[in-house]
Amino acid sequence: MSLSEILRRELAGAPLGAARDDFEAALERALRGPPNRDATAFEAALAAMPVLPRLEAELDSPVVRIGTAHDLDADARETLHGALLALHPWRKGPFELLGVPIDSEWRSDLKWARVAASITPLAGRRVLDVGCGNGYYAWRMLGAGAGFVLGVDPAARCIAQFQAFKRQQPAAAVVLLPLGSEDLPAQSRCFDTVFSMGVIYHRRDPIGHLRELHGQLRPGGELVLETLFIDAAAGAVLAPGERYAKMRNVWSIPSCNTLLGWLHEAGFRDARIAHTSITTADEQRRTAWMRFESLADFLDPRNPSLTVEGHPAPRRALAVATA
Ligand SMILES: C[S@@+](CC[C@H](N)C(=O)[O-])C[C@H]1O[C@@H](n2cnc3c(N)ncnc32)[C@H](O)[C@@H]1O
């Protein structure tokens, strides 16, 4: 079965109530768009992986683990290792699949620990994770008791990496679709919790992004928004220009009080900053599973409080607000 057919089938079984038709229309629009140039390689990598659909899953500890080394012989595990590496770069994790450990660029478990301590518990909730990457957090949300998790991310590689795991757990209540936040139905209003982590500074219209998120929440639902921020007064926004930490697509980085103002303007209430942190090389670094440049290459070697472009080095804030 092709990846498109798998996505259609998974969405058809998703508990989205009356909003499912609109999500199906959004998926069809996305599938009609230009295919990713690596799509054939992704399908080939997935096809090379063994599928053992009755494996044990461990979703409530730092390493998202499906199956164990005992479920595969050494040759088959070597083949799986190669097929997973063909989906390089692995930015979010850590994972372990059938005894193959995936040491991703980000220790996403550290962010998840900060987030999980700051939000309304997810038990039984219907969750949307916008810009979900390869689904690491979506699995952790399920591990925290969420009733259903929908992740959306426009990056085809992220969807392929997620499928490497989802194929082993076809009944798991988690679905990832290749959509951007701008592709979501305008007012689905069907989620109890919506996450947007590491996305808002990639959007040219940050308040528009917050309105898109507001439209996905039921009244009283919770937004969990995580972003880069600058240590500055209300109203301050860093527009980094050409690049920020070598990234081309960073448009605006707010101060915490600017972010709270944006949330208010987009219709949220009771917005608060739950946590702030400075990103270190313990959390973001080059590994065998992400061989490109990482945080250490993005900072000024003479003054690591600055990026190589001279902007303030990455700091991250977690905001929580009610729709
Ligand atoms: C910095 S990563 C953050 C991933 C993950 N949420 C996390 O916090 O680690 C940004 C993600 O946003 C995705 N993205 C980029 N543009 C987007 C858009 N318009 N809508 C939703 N996601 C987007 C990227 O593909 C990428 O996976």
SS3 210: helix
Tell me which of 107, 114, 152, 199 to substitute to probe ligand 1's pocket, judged by most ligand atoms within 8 Å of the beta carbon: 199
The CA 201 to ligand 1 mean position distance, Å, reads 10
In contact, 108 and 311? CB cutoff 8 Å: no
Give the global pTM. 0.98
- Report the residue among 111, 153, 194 best suited for mutation to probe ligand 1: largest number of ligand atoms under 8 A from its CB: 153
Alpha carbons 277 and 280: distance in angstroms, whole number:
9
Structural domains in the chain plus CATH codes: 3-322 (3.40.50.150)
Taking CA atoms only, the protein residue closest to ligand 1 atom 25 is 155
- Which stretches in the chain have pLDDT values below 70? none
End-to-end Cα separation, the chain, in angstroms: 39
Q: What is the model's pLDDT at position 55? A: 85
CA of 40 to the centre of ligand 1 (A): 22
Count of residues in the chain: 323
List residues near ligand 1 (CB under 6 A): 92, 108, 130-133, 153-155, 158, 180-182, 197-199, 202, 226
Phi-psi region of 125 (alpha: psi -120 to 50; beta: other; left: phi over 0): beta
Q: Residue 314 carries which DSSP code?
A: P
pLDDT of residue 187: 96
Q: How many CB atoms lie within 10 A of CB 25?
A: 12
Query: In terms of Cα–Cα distance, which of 323, 319, 43 is closest to 198?
Result: 319
pLDDT score recorded for residue 16: 97
Cβ within 8 Å of residue 62, ≥6 positions away? 94, 107, 109, 112, 113
Tokens of 1: 């079965």
HSE value, Cβ hemisphere, 13 Å, CA-based, for 279: 29
Q: Give whole-number Cα distances, 118 to 224, 227, 273, 320, in Å.
A: 9, 15, 10, 8
pLDDT for 154-180, tens place per residue? 999 999 999 999 999 999 999 999 999
